[in-house]
Amino acid sequence: MTNNIRLANLERAFQRGDASVQALRQLDLTIEQGEFIALVGPSGSGKSTLLNLLGGLDRPTGGEVWLNDLALHEADSRALTAYRKERIGFIFQSFNLLPRLTALENVAVPLMLAGVDKREREERAQAMLERVGLGHRLDHYPTELSGGEQQRTAVARALIHKPDLILADEPTGNLDSSTGESIMTLLRDLNQEQGITLIVVTHDPEVAAYADRTVHLRDGQIERVVEQNEPVARPAVALGLRTNAAKLRWGDSIRSAFRNLGRRPVRNVLTAGGVIIGIVTLVAMVSFGVGVQSEVRRNFEAVGLENLFVSPTYEEGDGFDPFAEPAPIAPLTPALVAQIAALDGVAEVIPQIYLPNGMDIELRYGDTTRSVSITDGGPAPFRFGPPGTNEMAAGEDITGRAVGALLAAGLADQILPEGQDYEDLLGQEIEMTITLPRGESLIFRTTIIGIQNGFASRSLAVGLNERMAIKSWWFNDPDFLVRDGYDELTVRAVDLATAPRVTEQLQELDLRVQSLDAILDVANQVLALLQALLGSVGGLALLVAALGVANTMMMAIYERTREIGVLKALGASAREIRRLFTIEAGMIGFLGGIVGLILGTLLGRLVDWIGHRYLINEGVTGVGDLSIVPWWLALGAIAFATFIGLLAGLYPAARAARLDPVTSLRHE
């Protein structure tokens, strides 16, 4: 026969405080391929220690362990993981089945760790369970199986990946005599039929009697070796690592993590609750900021981002008369207006004249009189209320008109005779009386040309010529326009792309130019800062939630320490263990992020609804959504929550990966 396993001067010592405990001493042993070996001896003789060394779960402190040309005593952790995954089948005294998996899924675990496709591994696991007589118990969980059925499941798991060596630690220790006998018969038959090397640790002489040789250990040394059964010719088995060890698939890692979340649903829901609160806060506050930003932009666009507001630049005083008003460098005279209108890229120039504050104005229409105020003839979106509320209700706009009156809808409602509508007011004459503080009065008449929506109830606008006449009379200065010019110009560029070039030309004329686009940029910067400040509140809540996730994962690792040991014994690498727990933590964050996104969106819609109801009650209409969840916020919230979960799981997962498999398997 070909040598299979060779132990040379093997030693294993354990440090217990300041003392060193020698578990194995200068042990030499050769095990042939296909042999059935029983390791017997009293407790503390070194049987389990030797089994752990043969299984690649532990390393010797001295000597050599050879599997043909594979030196286990020199192998690194990656090689030992591949060795356990491909070459070894473990059978434990306490079965060590994973409680959340069915018999079929337990048997398929080694194949899952080897990256075998789900359908293939289930087919192979079913065939193996049928071989050990459990074809009718495929979907039963370990708690639903008898002790013998659990051990048969463990045997099937040990055989599923066609190992060369089976290591069984007290395989009948927790079974009655009849069941134990059937398990040993099964193992012996597998040994003889498949040529699998079988090493069994036992205290039971009846179990040892099945073996070809019995190795008696005492105080870490071989006391004697007893040849008791004539070796049977067995099929040859190829030795050494067959391939580069396959790896656990990402899909299986995610499915396993999702299944593990169901182990403690209440605890995991409470843990995810911290993430949910953080995401709700983040989404609700940032969506509010986005909504406000969108509304501001909509309002500016309603005015026209291509509009430029031009005013004179004034000379600095010379210091001799501090009370003198500074003179404009380039007054906005009609001649300058004509020059500006001829500039390249200018589509329209609308002069503005602002009337003084404090005018006492009385409007008369028929038998109705009302105290009113005259607003300027500036851009319609801002005239009688916020942009979006100033659509024309009837008639034409006043912008650019020389004469005529545009009434706010609220004022029109007050003077409208019963039974008439807005259209009936168009073309009607109104009379206005303006009284100076010194007692003089000016009466002028004009015609209603339009009615505009808005919540203003006392406002109207009049044509440019009428505002000039009022201002000239008010200041008793008929030549003010030629000398001082208009108060402001609204210059509309051909399009938004042309506006910067028009701005440069206007500045070359010593004029001060304000661009809505530039103002909007500043507003966006302020709102972006506001969003960051609002979002940081949710971010802080998520950081606090991360502590909860980390704490939950630490508890999960403590509870599943034995399970981690089983997975490592079956061939899971430290990296794969780390990945399993990191994904599990990330999944808590991911699920919390989804729920938080939904609740945060609903909260934003609720606040939006309440806000709109309030504005409507105040007479403000046409305001857009105050809470908007754009795609980048939705994806960002889920990604951030997942990242927080992953971040919180890094340390617990690293601890799980570092757990010693031998110590973990002993954990209760």
What stretches of 231-345 show up as alpha helix (H) in DSSP?
Answer: 250-261, 265-303, 334-341
Residues 6+ apart with CB under 8 A from 156: 107, 125, 128, 129, 131, 132, 134
Return the CATH number of the domain spanning residue range 3-246. Answer: 3.40.50.300
DSSP assignment string, 345-411: TEEEEEEE-PPPTT-EEEEEETTEEEEEEEEP---GGGSSSSTTS--EEEE---TT-SS-EEEEHHH
Cβ proximity of 413 and 455 under 8 Å = no
Distance CA 119, CA 196 (A): 26
In the beta sheet, which residues pair with residue 491?
A: 308, 349
Short-list 272, 287, 269, 290, CA closest to 603: 287
Distance CA 400, CA 378 (A): 9
Short-list 91, 84, 49, 66, CA closest to 190: 91
Phi and psi dihedrals of 170, rounded to 5? Answer: 50, 60
Residues (pLDDT < 50) of the chain are 1, 238-244, 319-320
| Sign, CA torsion 11/15/18/22 | negative
Q: Is the pTM of this model over 0.85?
A: no
Short-list 636, 644, 648, CA closest to 542: 644
* 519 alpha-carbon distance from chain centroid: 33
DSSP 277: H
DSSP 325: P
pLDDT of residue 597: 93
At 571, list the tokens.
Answer: 């061939």
- At residue 572, what is the residue type? A
Condensed to tens digits (0 to 9), the pLDDT of residues 240-255 reads 444 445 678 888 888 8
Condensed to tens digits (0 to 9), the pLDDT of residues 13-30 reads 888 877 888 888 889 999
Range list for CATH 3.40.50.300 in the chain: 3-246
pLDDT of residue 312: 84
Q: Please, is 246 exposed, middle or buried when counting C-beta atoms within 10 Å of its C-beta (0-12, 13-18, 19+)?
A: middle
* 76 alpha-carbon distance from chain centroid: 37
| Sign, CA torsion 370/374/380/382 | negative
Distance CA 222, CA 39 (A): 10
